[in-house]
Amino acid sequence: MTISLSNLKPASGAKKKIKRIGRGNASGHGTTATRGTKGQRARSGGRAGLRTMGMRRMIMALPKIGGFRSKYAKANVVTLKFLASKAPAGAVNPKILRKLGIVEISRGGIKILDFVDFKLEKKYDVSGCEVSTGVRAKIEAAGGTVR
C-alpha cells in the first residue's frame, strides 16, 4: 500500500486519549471528578492555597538566624607579641604593617591588642593604629610613643 495524504495516521500509542473529567458517572470520572471526597483539594480553587504551604514548610525548616551583620568593616587585630616577632623597632603604621605582611587590608583600621603577659623590649612609634590601654602602657614603658 502506498502512503498518501488520505491514508496517513499516527503510530499506535503516539496519541493518548484525554481524560475527560466530570462528564457523568458512565465515563468513570463523574461525581467527585477524580478529586476524592471533600477537603481543600476537592473544592474549586483548592489548589491555589496549597502553593504557600510548600513555601511555609521550607521557611519553617530553615533556622532563625538572630542578630545582624554590620555594614562597617571590623578592625584588623594584631597582637603585641606577634608585632614584636615580625616588625623591627621603629615606626609602626598601617602602611608598614601591610608592607611587612602582618595585615592584608587596613579598611576597617588596625587595632593592637595584648592577650598574654608579654614584656615588650623593642621601642615602637605607633601612629594611625588603635591601641588598647594595656598595650599603650607597655609601649610607653619600653620608651616608645603612641599617636
**pLDDT tens, position by position, 60-93:** 888 998 888 888 888 999 999 999 998 898 999 9
Q: Given its phi and psi angles, is residue 47 left (phi above 0), alpha (psi -120 to 50 degrees) or beta?
A: alpha
Q: Is residue 49 part of a domain?
A: yes
Q: Is residue 9 part of a domain?
A: no
Q: Is residue 47 part of a domain?
A: yes
Q: What is the pLDDT of residue 97?
A: 92
**What percent of the chain stands above pLDDT 90?**
48
Mean local confidence (pLDDT), 8-13: 91
88 with 55, same domain: the answer is no
Q: Is residue 11 part of a domain?
A: no
Q: Is residue 105 part of a domain?
A: yes
Domain containing residue 131: 76-146
Q: What is the pLDDT of residue 44?
A: 84
97 with 128, same domain: the answer is yes
Count of domains for the chain: 2
56 with 118, same domain: the answer is no
49 with 100, same domain: the answer is no
Residues 109-142 have pLDDT tens digits of 999 999 888 889 999 999 999 999 999 999 999 9
45 with 87, same domain: the answer is no
Q: In whole angstroms, give the CA distance from residue 3 to residue 31.
A: 45
Cβ-Cβ contacts under 8 Å for 9 (sequence gap 6 or more): none
Q: Is residue 8 part of a domain?
A: no
Q: What is the CATH number of the domain that holds 81?
A: 3.100.10.10
Q: Given its phi and psi angles, is residue 38 left (phi above 0), alpha (psi -120 to 50 degrees) or beta?
A: left
Q: Is the pTM of this model over 0.85?
A: no
Q: Is residue 107 part of a domain?
A: yes
80 with 142, same domain: the answer is yes
87 with 43, same domain: the answer is no
Cβ-Cβ contacts under 8 Å for 27 (sequence gap 6 or more): 20
Q: Is residue 13 part of a domain?
A: no
pLDDT category at 54 given cuts 50, 70, 90 is confident
Q: What is the pLDDT of residue 53?
A: 66
* Whether residue 41 has pLDDT greater than 70: yes
101 with 137, same domain: the answer is yes
pLDDT category at 49 given cuts 50, 70, 90 is low
